[in-house]
Chain A
C-alpha cells in the first residue's frame, strides 16, 4: 500500500506544480478560468434557485423531485459516458501505465490510481455544476451549510462515483467482448443500448405528460402523482438521490438518511466489484488493446488507387492537396474519432427526427417562446459539443509532427483555414439539419409562415461558424502537442473553458431572442402587430456578436500557430 501512496503523492505534486506554475500564461489562464467557471457556477446557482422557486409552488414537491430525478438521470448518463470515453485513454492508452507496469507495482494499485485519476479528470466540472445547482436548490429550502456538506459528501459524491464505476466496468467488458466480436461492432452495439436506455427512460417517465397532469392537480397534491412507484425506475441511482432530496425537503430526516445509506451502500458494493474485476482483468484487457492495434495496422498500399490516395494526381494545388489528404487519413484511421463522430451524428439525427414530430398544442405565448428557446438551445448545445469534440483538438492533434509543416515553405494560414473549413462543414451540416427539422413544427403551428425556419437557418449558419472559430482559436491557444488522444484534449481545462464560453455565447443569443420571439408568438396567438424590424434587429445583433467573437478567436488561433514550437 505504501507504493500506492508514494505514487499518489508524486502525482499530486506534479499536478500542483503544473496547475500553479508561476508564469504569465498560467496566471492569465487561471484568471480566465476563474471568471468563466465562476460565472458558470453563478448561472447554475441562479437557474437552480429560479427553477425551484418557480416550480415547487406550482407543481408540488413530488412532481418537482421527479423532474430532479430526470435531470440527475441525464447527469448520471453524461458522467458515465464521459468516464467510458476518457477512461479508455487513461487506463489503456496512457504512457504512464506502460511505464508503471514495468515497475514492481501491483496491477490493482495501478488500476485504482488510474481509475481515480480518470474520475477526478472527467468529473470535476460536473462536481462544480452539481454543487452550484445544489446551492441554488437549497437556498429555496433554506438549508444550512452543514446540510450542503452532508449532501455533497454522502449523496452526490457516491452518485457521481457510482456512475464512474459503472463506466469503467462497461469499458473493461467492452474491451473483453471486442476481442471476440471486433471493436467497432461492440461500440455500435453499446451505442444502441445507450440510445435505447435513454429513450425508454423518457418514455416511462414522460416529463411533458407529467407536467400536463400536474397542471390539472392542485398544488401540493402529493397523493395523486405516484412518484417513485415505477418499480423498474425507483432503484436507479438518480431516483434514489432525488428521493433523499425529496424526504429532506419534507423534513423527513429519518427516511432521507436511510435512502442516502442505500446509495452509499450500493456505491460501495459496486466499487468493491470494480476492484475485484480490475484485479482480475485490467492487465489482461490492457494487453488485449495491443492486439487490436496490431490487427488494425495493416499494410496500406494496394495496386488500385483509392479515393484520396496520395499517389493520385489532383487538380488542387500541391500544398492544399496533401494537407487535405493528411487530414482525411488521420481522421479516418483513428477509431476514436470515427466512432465518436458516428455516435454524435446518430444523436443529432434522433434529435432532429423527434423534433419533427413535436406536437405544439398549447397556444400560449410564454410556453411557445420558452419551448422554442429550449429547442434552440439544445440544438446549439449539440453544435457546441461537436465543435468541442472535433474542432478544439484539431490543432493539438498535429502533435510533435507539426514540425514538418512549420519548417516547410508553407504559409501556416493555409493549415488554419483548412481546419476551419473542415470544422465548419462538420458542425454546420448537423446544425442546419437540426434547425430545419426543429422549426418544422413551429412553421406548422404558425399556419405555414416560414419566418422561424429562415431565422433558424440564418442563426444556425452564424452560430456554427462562430463556434468553430471559437473552438479552433482557443484550441490553438491551449494547444497541447504532447497529448495524442483527442478525447483527453477535448476534456482538458482549456477545452472546458472553451465549452463554457460557447455556452455563455449561446445564452447571450437566447437572451437576444426572447423579446422578438415573444412578439412573434403574440402576433400569432393574440393577433398583435409584428414589425419585421423586430426580427431584423436581433438578427443583426446576432451577426455582429458572432462576427466579433469569431474574428477575435480566429486571430488568436492564427497567432498561436506562430509561437515557438
Chain B
C-alpha cells in the first residue's frame, strides 16, 4: 500500500509538488498523469527515496520513507524514466547486483533471473555489457530488475519509453498481472491509451497540485462532459 499525506517539495522558492495526498491500496493500479514539468517525476523520486519531501509524509506498507527508509524500500521497486545502468556490467550481472541489494539468497536470485530472462526475452544479449544496449534493451533490463525481489509496491516512471510494440505488450501484461496479484502500482505516464487500458484509478497533476483523482468510472463520466475523448479531459484538466 502507498500513502501520500500532504506531500510538498520545494526547490528554493519554487514549489514542485504542492500538498499532494493520495492512497493506493494493495492490488490497485494508479496512473499519474500531467503535462511536462507538472511534478510527476519529483513525486515519484520522493516515493523512491531519491528526494526528501519538504513537508508531508509518504508511507509504503505503513513505513515512512523518510523515517524508516530501509523497511519502506524493501517492499518497493522503482523503475526510473531514464534506465541508467552500470555501463561496464552485463545485464545478468546487473540483475545479480539488484538481487544482492535486496539481500536475496544466491539460489533464489539465480532462479528469478532465469525466470525474468525468459519472460522479457532478453537471453540473447543479457551477457553483453550494458554500454552496448539500446534504450529499449536497457528499459527491459530495468523492468526485469524491478521484479527480481517480488515487490509489494511498484513505482514506475514512463515505462513504455523506448520499447518496441512487442516489449511494450510484455510490459503491459506483466504490470496487469502484478496488480492482479496484489501489488500496488504507481505509474507515471504520458500515454493516455495506456492509462485508460491499465489503470484502476488516475490522478492528474498540474503545477504540483493534484487536480483530479478518480476511478475509470469517474473518468468515463467526466469524459462525457466533453467530446468523450480522454485527450480532451487531459487538455481541460491541465490547461
Contact = CB atoms under 8 A, between A and B. Distances in A.
Chains A and B come from one and the same complex: yes
Interface of A: 23, 293, 297, 299-301, 310-311, 313, 317-319, 321-323, 325-326, 329-330, 333-334, 399-401, 403-411, 484, 562, 564-565
Contacts of A323: 100
Contacts of A565: 45, 50-51
Interface of B: 12, 45, 48-52, 69-71, 73-74, 76, 78, 80, 82, 84-90, 92-93, 96-106, 110, 127-129, 131-132, 145
A330 B73 contact: no
A311 B84 contact: no
A297 B129 contact: yes
B104 to A, nearest CB: 7
A409 B73 contact: yes
B101 A409 contact: yes
A129 B69 CA distance: 47
A318 B50 contact: no
Contact of A322 (B52, B69, B101): B101
Contacts of A411: 70
Nearest to B132: A297
A312 to B, nearest CB: 8
A401 B128 contact: no
B101 A405 contact: yes
Contact of A407 (B48, B86, B89, B93): B48
A565 B78 CA distance: 14
Contacts of A300: 90, 93, 127-129
Nearest to B47: A407
Given A297-B131, A297-B132, A301-B92, A330 B86 contact: yes
A23 B13 CA distance: 12
A318 B98 CA distance: 10
B103 A319 contact: yes
Given A299-B127, A322-B101, A399 B84 contact: yes
Contact of B84 (A293, A321, A330, A400): A400
B88 A408 contact: no
Given A401-B84, A403-B78, A408 B93 contact: no
A225 B128 CA distance: 64
Contacts of A407: 48-50, 73, 76, 78
A321 B48 CA distance: 23
5 contacts: A310-B97, A325-B93, A401-B87, A409-B74, A565-B45
Contacts of B80: 403
B128 A410 contact: no
Contacts of B52: 562, 564
B100 A322 contact: yes
B46 to A, nearest CB: 9
A400 B82 contact: yes
Contacts of B69: 409
B126 to A, nearest CB: 8
Contact of B103 (A297, A400, A403, A409): A409
Given A318-B100, A404-B101, 17 more contacts: A297-B131, A299-B127, A300-B127, A301-B127, A310-B93, A310-B97, A310-B100, A311-B110, A313-B106, A326-B86, A399-B86, A401-B84, A401-B85, A401-B87, A408-B101, A409-B74, A562-B52
Given A299-B128, A300-B93, A322-B96, A403 B86 contact: no
Q: 9 closest A-B pairs (Cβ-Cβ)?
A: A322-B100, A301-B127, A310-B96, A400-B84, A409-B74, A333-B88, A408-B101, A409-B73, A407-B78
Contacts of A564: 45, 50-52
A317 B12 CA distance: 40
Nearest to A333: B88
Nearest to A408: B101
A289 to B, nearest CB: 13
Contacts of B12: 23
B92 A330 contact: no
A322 B93 CA distance: 9
Given A318-B103, A406-B50, A407-B49, A311 B96 contact: yes
A411 B71 CA distance: 11
Given A407-B50, A409-B103, A564-B51, A401 B86 contact: yes
Nearest to B74: A409
Contacts of B93: 300, 310, 325, 329
Contact of A333 (B49, B98, B129): B129
A541 B189 CA distance: 59
Given A310-B96, A322-B97, A330 B103 contact: no
A562 B51 CA distance: 9
Tell me which of A23, A311, A334 has the highest count of chain B C-beta atoms within 10 A of its own C-beta: A311
A416 to B, nearest CB: 15
Nearest to B69: A409
A439 to B, nearest CB: 39
Contacts of A399: 84, 86
Nearest to B72: A409
Contacts of B74: 409
B88 A409 contact: no
A31 B137 CA distance: 45
Contact of B100 (A319, A401, A562): A319
Contacts of B73: 407-410
A310 B92 contact: yes
Given A311-B96, A404-B97, A409-B71, A301 B103 contact: no
A310 B99 CA distance: 10
Nearest to B93: A310
B100 A403 contact: no
A527 B161 CA distance: 80
Contacts of A401: 84-87
Tell me which of B82, B97, B103, B131 has the highest count of chain A C-beta atoms within 10 A of its own C-beta: B97
A453 to B, nearest CB: 41
Contacts of A313: 106
Nearest to B50: A565
